[in-house]
Amino acid sequence: MSDYYEILGVPRDASPEQIKKAYRRLAREHHPDVAGTEGASDERFKDVSRAYEVLSNPEKRRMYDMGADPASPGGGMGGGFGFQDIFETFFGAAAGAGAQRGPIPRARRGQDALVRLDLDLAETTFGVHRDVQVDTAVVCPTCSGTCCRPGTSPRTCEVCGGRGSVQRVARSFLGQVMTSQPCAACHGFGTVIPEPCTECSGEGRVRSRRTLSVDVPAGVDTGTRIKLTGQGEVGPAGGPAGDVYLEVRERKHETFMRSGDDLHCNLPVPMTAAALGTVLVLDTLDGPREIDLRPGTQPGQVVTLKGLGVGRLHVGGRGDLHVHVEVQVPTSLDDEQAELVRRLAVLRGEERPEGRLSAANAGVFAKLRDKLAGR
């Protein structure tokens, strides 16, 4: 195949203007009427004209760059550029491969299923055994996934001969091209079902409700997904089952707030108990537990109970329970109580306290932010 770029003396990325300019120069130089001779100049002029005819046409130039010569009879395939290359270029490599891959398997994998699992805090903390109902597809009990009425079997497709595809000859600018496409009679399966199962209508599967048992490990949280392999819906024609994913959603607890593996709660304490110290009994997820408040306990002080938080998923052990003390200041006092408080203030020298400011900690701003946000 001739090198048209070399004939015109232009690079392979030449612009249309460069190609036109080169052609005009060469045409004037080699035209028989201008050159005044026949033979070599005449043939040279024909080569230049042929090169310009191809390279000046965007479509013909694209074909030429891919190895075809549109100016030669039959498309003029260049060396090393065979029919398979042409087919894959214009119809895709996948199409060429698909023609040789054979019939499509009728049995295919079923889809996965996503099921939400609502759990209480105690269940996510300690783990729990749950039965979950799932609406899914199971193998047809009548045909056992064959899709055929009992006593019958699939029949080889007479149109494609069991290949699952048919070949057709299509005409194109390259000439005749052989294409392959799925057989319309068998939909690419290579077989047809002459007598479909009446139970599943030839699907090989039916809808059913199943109960799945699952052991939920300790430490799961909202968004955690538990995979049940092979428990999803059965595929068409009794194909392999997909998977079931249980997505956990933890219900909000009325007392405890979870943060990772730790739990937090607030403990209202009378002013007198905070000042004098006391022992209180708390109802935790593990049952009653004593908490020792030292004399002089301050508002916002945190008492940590080790190992009373949520179980750690995949690691073992448990987080902690953080108890945030809220000192309650009485809002109404009778005369006797007010007198006692005044006497205490006198004894402590606090009857006229100074208005001295101190830096606010981050907790104060966090509470203020939450209050403004309505939380």
User: What domain range is 293 assigned to?
Assistant: 257-372
Whether 88 contacts 13, CB under 8 Å: no
Whether residue 133 sits in one domain with residue 50? no
**Residue 31: what pLDDT?**
65
DSSP codes of every residue in 192-209: E-SSB-TTTTTSSEEEEE
pTM of the model: 0.62
Whether residue 303 sits in one domain with residue 206? no
Give the count of beta carbons closer than 10 Å to the beta carbon of residue 244: 23
Task: Tell me the pLDDT of the chain (375 aa) as tens digits.
Answer: 678 888 889 998 889 999 999 988 888 787 665 555 554 567 888 888 888 888 898 888 887 877 677 776 555 444 333 444 444 444 444 444 444 467 999 999 999 999 999 999 999 999 999 999 999 999 999 999 999 999 999 999 999 999 999 887 766 655 667 778 889 899 999 999 999 999 999 999 999 999 999 999 999 999 999 999 999 999 999 999 999 999 999 999 999 999 999 999 999 999 999 999 999 999 999 999 999 999 999 999 999 999 999 999 988 899 999 999 999 998 888 989 888 988 888 888 877 777 677 665 555 445 545 644 555
Task: Assess if residue 232 is contained within a domain.
Answer: yes
- When divided into structural domains, the chain yields a total of 3
Whether residue 243 sits in one domain with residue 278? no
**Residue 90: what pLDDT?**
45
The span from the CA of 112 to the CA of 213, in Å, is: 17
Task: Assess if residue 294 is contained within a domain.
Answer: yes
Task: Assess if residue 167 is contained within a domain.
Answer: no
Burial (CB count within 10 angstroms: exposed 0-12, middle 13-18, buried 19+), residue 209: exposed
- Containing 372, the helix (H) or strand (E) segment is helix 362-372
Of 61, 81, 101, the residue that ends a domain is 81
Whether residue 261 sits in one domain with residue 242? no
Estimate to the nearest angstrom the gap between the alpha carbon of 124 and the chain centroid.
26
**What are the structure tokens assigned to 36, written together?**
């005044």
Whether residue 318 sits in one domain with residue 197? no
Whether residue 263 sits in one domain with residue 357? yes
CATH of the domain at 126: 2.60.260.20
Task: Assess if residue 246 is contained within a domain.
Answer: yes
The span from the CA of 120 to the CA of 313, in Å, is: 16
**Residue 267: what pLDDT?**
95
**Residue 362: what pLDDT?**
55
Long-range contacts of 287-291 (CB under 8 A, 24+ apart): 291/267, 291/323
Of 204, 233, 250, the residue that ends a domain is 250
List residues forming the annotated binding site.
140, 143, 157, 160, 183, 186, 197, 200
Whether residue 240 sits in one domain with residue 122? yes
Whether residue 303 sits in one domain with residue 344? yes
Task: Assess if residue 305 is contained within a domain.
Answer: yes
Whether 121 contacts 250, CB under 8 Å: yes
Residues in Cβ contact with 278 at an 8 Å cutoff, skipping those fewer than 6 apart: 269, 293
Residues in Cβ contact with 327 at an 8 Å cutoff, skipping those fewer than 6 apart: 269, 270, 271, 274, 297, 298, 299
List residues forming the annotated binding site for Zn(2+).
140, 143, 157, 160, 183, 186, 197, 200
Distances, alpha carbon 366 to alpha carbons 28, 182, 358, 361, 369, in Å: 87, 65, 17, 9, 5
Whether residue 148 sits in one domain with residue 238? yes
**Residue 49: what pLDDT?**
87
Task: Assess if residue 86 is contained within a domain.
Answer: no
Give the count of beta carbons closer than 10 Å to the beta carbon of residue 99: 18
CATH of the domain at 46: 1.10.287.110
Whether residue 60 sits in one domain with residue 19? yes
Task: Assess if residue 107 is contained within a domain.
Answer: no
**Residue 48: what pLDDT?**
85
Whether residue 262 sits in one domain with residue 245? no
Of 250, 270, 295, the residue that ends a domain is 250
The span from the CA of 26 to the CA of 30, in Å, is: 6
Whether residue 320 sits in one domain with residue 290? yes
**Residue 32: what pLDDT?**
61
Task: Assess if residue 170 is contained within a domain.
Answer: no
